[in-house]
Amino acid sequence: MKIKFSIRNEFKVAAGLVTVMVLVGFADRNLRHNTCKDIVVTLENVRENHFLDEADVLRMVETIPGEVRAKQFSVIDFREIEERLKSHRNFREVQLFNDLKGNLVVNVSLRRPVARLVQESGPDAYLSEEGLVIPVSDRYSSRVVILSGSMVSKIILDQDLNKTEYGRGLKAILDYINEDAFLKKQIAEIELNSDGTLNLLPQIGSQTIEFGKPENPEDKFLKLKVFYKNILPERGWNKYRRVNLEFENQVIAE
């Protein structure tokens, strides 16, 4: 079916679009000349991260030099406020805008912790799902896998797993564990040894799982699941002291 438009109809459509654009631009200019009445914080926290709440974010905004209340939105530097808030490592995204009620809306989404870094000497920290080191909270402790051992202090110093091949390999292992329902419940701790190898410590069972270098997680975890499914039910969960996954196509249990 063919649809025909007359020149008159096309002119009406074009005129309508121009009118809408003018009205939008006029409304936007009016909003920018409105005065900021209040600050409203919305916190996107679908991952149940309770390290910070709306009151914490509001205090951060209020400590930024230059009180925004009672100022016209046209003179408020939205970008500067966003950049200052983004410097907090718990924040994944920050967006600022003014609403029709005259409020400055601060929309913040939080990073999700996926592992806790435990040092022998020094404060603990968390790793986010992006591989970034984020600070602990006084009010909330996230139930995640623990990372311990001599390499933890270097990770905290680097602040980002993505900087090194070792860090990227470790991130891939953490991703694999957190995406697998069984492994997420079973793996309680990962020891990071000075030679770059990993030992996994389970929730149930007394064996140390020697993972080797942080590589080939899919193959190694597949072998571990075979061990749990086919061997331990017959021999008992506390029968073996160590399980080695380093070698291709075999599991060594002692």
What confidence tens digit (pLDDT) does each residue in 113-125 have? 999 999 988 899 9
**Distance (Å) of CA 182 to CA 86, 167, 170, 202:** 35, 23, 19, 11
Look at residue 47 in the predicted model and tell me its pLDDT: 67
Amino acid at 93: E
**Distance (Å) of CA 36 to CA 97, 101, 106, 107, 217:** 11, 9, 13, 16, 52
Report the predicted TM-score, pTM, of the whole model to 2 decimal places. Answer: 0.79
Percentage of the chain modeled with pLDDT above 90: 52
- Say if residue 247's pLDDT is above 50: yes
Look at residue 74 in the predicted model and tell me its pLDDT: 87
- Number of Cβ within a 10 Å radius of residue 158: 15
**Distance (Å) of CA 253 to CA 63, 201, 206:** 58, 15, 12
Percentage of the chain modeled with pLDDT above 70: 85
Per-residue pLDDT of 48-62, as tens digits, reads 778 888 999 999 988
Per-residue pLDDT of 130-164, as tens digits, reads 999 999 988 888 899 999 999 999 999 999 999 99
Name the architecture of domain 113-253. Answer: 3-Layer(aba) Sandwich (3.40)
Look at residue 234 in the predicted model and tell me its pLDDT: 76
Computed over every residue of the chain, the mean pLDDT equals 84
- Say if residue 17's pLDDT is above 70: no
Q: Where does the pLDDT of residue 197 fall: very low under 50, low under 70, confident under 90, or very high at 90 and above?
A: very high
Please, where in the chain does CATH 3.10.20.310 lie? 38-110
Dihedral of alpha carbons 206, 207, 211, 217, sign: negative
Look at residue 33 in the predicted model and tell me its pLDDT: 61
Per-residue pLDDT of 60-89, as tens digits, reads 988 887 788 888 888 888 898 999 999 999
Q: Where does the pLDDT of residue 23 fall: very low under 50, low under 70, confident under 90, or very high at 90 and above?
A: very low
Report the phi/psi class of residue 205: left, alpha or beta, with left for phi > 0 and alpha for psi in -120 to 50: left
Please, where in the chain does CATH 3.40.50 lie? 113-253
Look at residue 214 in the predicted model and tell me its pLDDT: 95
CATH topology of domain 38-110: Ubiquitin-like (UB roll) (3.10.20)
- Say if residue 3's pLDDT is above 60: no
- Say if residue 215's pLDDT is above 90: yes
